[in-house]
Chains A and B, each alone.
Chain A
Amino acid sequence: MPYEFDEILETIRMTEVEHFDIRTVTLGISLRDCHDRNIEVTKQKIYDKIMKYGKNHVKYAREIEAKYGISIANKRISITPVSIPFDPFHAEEFIEIAKILDKAAEEIGIDYLAGYSALVQKGMTNGERELIQSIPYALASTKRVCSSVNIASTKAGINMDAILMMAEAIKKTAELTKDRDSIGCAKLVVFANAVEDNPFVAGAFHGISEPEVTLNVGISGPGVVLDAIKEAGYCNTQGLAEVIKKTIFKITRAGELIGRKVAEKHGVPFGIVDVSLAPTPAEGDSIADILMAMGLEDVGGPGTTAALAMLNDSVKKAGLMASGVVGGMSGAFIPVSEDMGMIRAVENGNLTIEKLEAMTAVCSVGLDMIAVPGDTTASTIAGIIADEAAIGVINDKTTAVRIIPAYGKKEGESVDYGGLLGKAPIMSVKRISCEKFIGRGGRIPAPMRSLTN
């Protein structure tokens, strides 16, 4: 037999028992040729372009799923940051664009389309300002559109004016979607050092150096890693790193195969594999559970950052060996509401925002899907974003904030979206004001890259 009995059973176990799936195949489509002075013509162009490339996206992904027996959890689309091709428009017109994007996504049969975005780390054009102002209304009047704004980078520094604007946009979004637990905020990400080829919604967009159309794939599989660690039993940390690497290697290989095959079906170039451990609210599909299997009593206690750092690094190393085209975020995600173990740790009072912030310094992304009391002020939210951006900018990594100031809710309550977005207990935030610091505005200069102590 060309394969050992054990090898075959391992694959079957991964795909059938341990929830190994491809988290997302994301079709990136450039909209840079869709601008017209007339908004109606623009809308038609956008719709036609997305339908042209995307209409078979779901069908093709399903065919590949059946062929290889590996499920693809999400089929999604990312587009050029909307503020770039449509810079001359005003807020009302941007909202119209969001609605046509929503319609295209619905037509194709996907749950999210991302790229209602702007890149303002250094400064803002008039169009970008209009787009940011339109975000709350766009998110409140659509179901499938996701938005992200990059407000800082290692090369440009941290745009404090943009941070304050985004904090206000987040508050407004929470208010406008209050009847659905402020769900709009779950579709809005504030980035530092955003990557151009990220396939993971809500932060995905089709970067300006990307080709006309491309297909990126995001792998997943915390359940597989968890079982491998449990099976390994007691070994030292080097041994543990080895176990994680071997497992990630295999799932990355499968991820690349699936991505390439879907791209081939579309007849579009294959972009990157994002080797990330992304949790889902399903039992066993949790990053927190992995950290606990590594030997922690609960997430949030001492040792958490070190365990997460090792997990994240092992994921990257194995991914790079397994695939020639690793990109995107590539690391472990720690969205609180989407991870049963994280939710439990917050509810037990073991995991706080401050510890989560430390964890984001060593893993992928940042403060993700965190619910805070509805009366948290815009300047406090801006302070949280600025802290997270500083970690990203100084450490030359991507960080992000997806925070939900749950309108009308207090600490101890929770917001529940069901499905992939899960349930977020509302966490406590320190009530010490940073209003005067944030109110200064301007831009924190880009950091130096030597004397890194």
Chain B
Amino acid sequence: MKLTEDEIRKITLSAIEELGDKATPDNVKSIVKKAVESFDSSPSDIKMNESSGRAILTSFGLNKPGIVASITKAISQCQCDIYDLSQKIMGDFFTMIMVVDLTNSPSDLKTVQEELAKVAEELKIKIYLQHEDVFRFMHRI
């Protein structure tokens, strides 16, 4: 989690305000540095506050052996956790919906999407990976 310039400026301003008359360039600098470091060392906490680190994976296409294996392999290589899984065969079609947790994964959503795009191309199926928030906003008040 990297702080933006604006956020750092806000931290600095509130530090100066709290210090009042005692504010000197040196002690403000050390306080801000400490604050920024503490943010850096607890990345998962901040992610949780923002929104969940989960994403919904939807895949469908003509059924063939090895689809689940290929998808789960790609996901585990990205060190993502599978939270929930539901899979159905409808006629010749394969459908699967997964809730994937990316919180402890070193790769971001985009990287995982790119990995899955490779799998989708190989198996000639569709795979969508979307952040959970869009489902939460649309279907939960």
Residues of B within 8 A of A15 (CB): 130
What is the 8 Å Cβ interface bit string for chain A, positions 21-46, against chain B (1 contact, 0 not)?
00000000000000000000000000
Q: Does B2 contact A (CB under 8 A)?
A: no
Kindly list chain B residues whose C-beta atoms are within 8 Å of the C-beta of A257. 133-134, 137
Smallest distance from the beta carbon of A5 to chain B beta carbons, Å?
A: 6
**CB-based contact B134/A69 at 8 Å:** yes
How long is the Cα–Cα vector from A66 to B86 in the complex, in angstroms?
24
Given contacts A3-B56, A16-B128, contact A254 B109 (CB under 8 A): no
Does B99 make an interface contact (CB < 8 A)? yes
Residue of A nearest to B126 (CB): A16
Question: Would you call A3 and B139 a contact (CB within 8 A)?
Answer: yes
Q: How far is the CA of A267 from the CA of B9 in the complex (A)?
A: 12
A65 to B63, CA, bound (A): 29
Q: Which residues of B contact A1 (CB under 8 A)?
A: 84, 86, 97, 99
User: Are A67 and B97 touching (Cβ within 8 A)?
Assistant: no
- The complex places the Cα of A257 from the Cα of B133 at a distance, in Å, of 8
Contacts of B130 in A (CB 8 A): 11, 15, 67-70
List B101-141 residues whose CB lies under 8 Å from chain A: 109-110, 113, 128-135, 137-139
B72 close to A (CB within 8 Å):
no
Chain A-chain B contacts (Cβ-Cβ < 8 Å), number = 66
The CA of A251 and the CA of B138, in the complex, are separated in Å by: 7
A8 touches B58 (CB 8 A): yes
Q: Chain A: interface secondary structure?
A: helix
Interface residues on A, range: 20 to 34
Determine if A8 and B135 form an interchain contact, defined as CB atoms under 8 angstroms apart: yes
| B84 and A254 within 8 A (CB) | no
Chain B residue numbers with a CB within 8 Å of A4 are 139
Shortest distance between the CB of A251 and any CB in chain B (Å): 8
Other-chain residue from A10, A69, A250, A267 in contact with B129 (beta carbon distance below 8 A)? A69
Once A68-B131, A69-B129 are accepted as A-B contacts, the answer to whether A5 and B86 lie under 8 Å apart by CB is yes
Query: Which A residues lie within 8 Å of B133 (CB)?
Result: 68, 257
Decide yes or no: A253 and B138 within 8 Å by CB, A1-B99, A8-B58, A8-B97 being known contacts.
Answer: yes
Q: Check if B58 sits within 8 Å of A250, measured CB to CB.
A: no
- Cα distance A3–B109 when bound, in Å? 20
Most chain A Cβ neighbours within 10 Å, of B4, B129, B131: B131
Q: Give 11 CB contacts A-B under 8 Å.
A: A1-B84, A2-B132, A8-B56, A11-B134, A12-B58, A67-B131, A68-B133, A250-B139, A253-B137, A256-B137, A257-B134
- Chain A residues with CB under 8 Å of chain B are 1-5, 7-12, 15-16, 63, 66-70, 250-251, 253-254, 256-257, 267
